[in-house]
Amino acid sequence: MPSAYKRILLKLSGEALMGDDKYGINRNVVEHIVVEIAEACQFGVEVAIVVGGGNIFRGMKSAGDGMDRVTADYMGMLATIMNALALQDAMRRKGLISRVQSALRIDQVVEPYIRNKAIRYLEEGKVVIFAAGTGNPFFTTDTAAALRGMEINADVVLKATKVDGIYSSDPKINSNATRYHHLSFDEAIIENLQVMDATALTLCRDQKLPINVFSIFKSGALMRILMGEDEGTLVSNG
């Protein structure tokens, strides 16, 4: 059975890389995520990733309190590059070929972001990891995921979280909370469901780029989405 999507943009939050740790990178979690991505690649799906940096920046929170917002945002971008390199290393050990492209120029460490080169890598079967967000302060990695997803002509943005979808209320507090199977962009924005930030949601809505929110910790969840099964919460125009 063919995949429901040919090319995906996977949005990984920095917090997803922590596992149960307070901050930093949990090696076992990263290896689990790479296994899920490897299965998608073996299935013939082209995979691009935008990674956040909250897990690393969280460890510097006390030092960053009261810091100028622009400076803090640039530090956060550097944290995403660290996460991207950790992912790339884990992929190398798994036998996956990947390339890291950064919106900030650090040529000795990672490539600069070049759209056509990123698309060529994807067509060659390589995983492309986008780091440093959009390269601009005040824009989140959610917005970077929406932007890069549109630029590479992705079929969907998959937001990987610790929760297996969007719920009517916090499932950790309310055991009767129900998972939404499908939402429109307008519903997500009006009800402030915090799927992604408003800028990212609006970009995806206007460009008709669907978003699926799912748990990366649920084994096989990524493959079930690719097979078109009911997994997570789909946010779209329809």
How many Å apart are CA 205 and CA 33, to the nearest integer? 27
What's the farthest any 2 CA atoms get from each other in the chain?
Answer: 53
Question: Which residues, in sequence order, are CB contacts of 66 under 8 Å at separation 6+?
Answer: none
3-state helix, strand, coil in the chain (%, to 5): 40, 20, 40
User: Using only C-alpha atoms, what is the Rg of the chain?
Assistant: 17
Q: Which residues of 107-134 are buried (b: 16+ CB within 10 A; e: fewer)?
A: eeebbebeeeebbebbeeebbbbbbbbb
Residue list, annotated binding site: 11-14, 53-54, 58, 73, 134-141, 161, 167, 170
Residue list, annotated binding site for ATP: 11-14, 54, 58, 161, 167, 170
Let me know how long the chain is: 238
**Contact in structure between 38 and 94 (CB atoms under 8 Å):** yes
Place of tokens 């510097």: 60
How many Å apart are CA 33 and CA 25, to the nearest integer? 12
DSSP H or E stretch at residue 113: none
Amino acid found at 101: Q
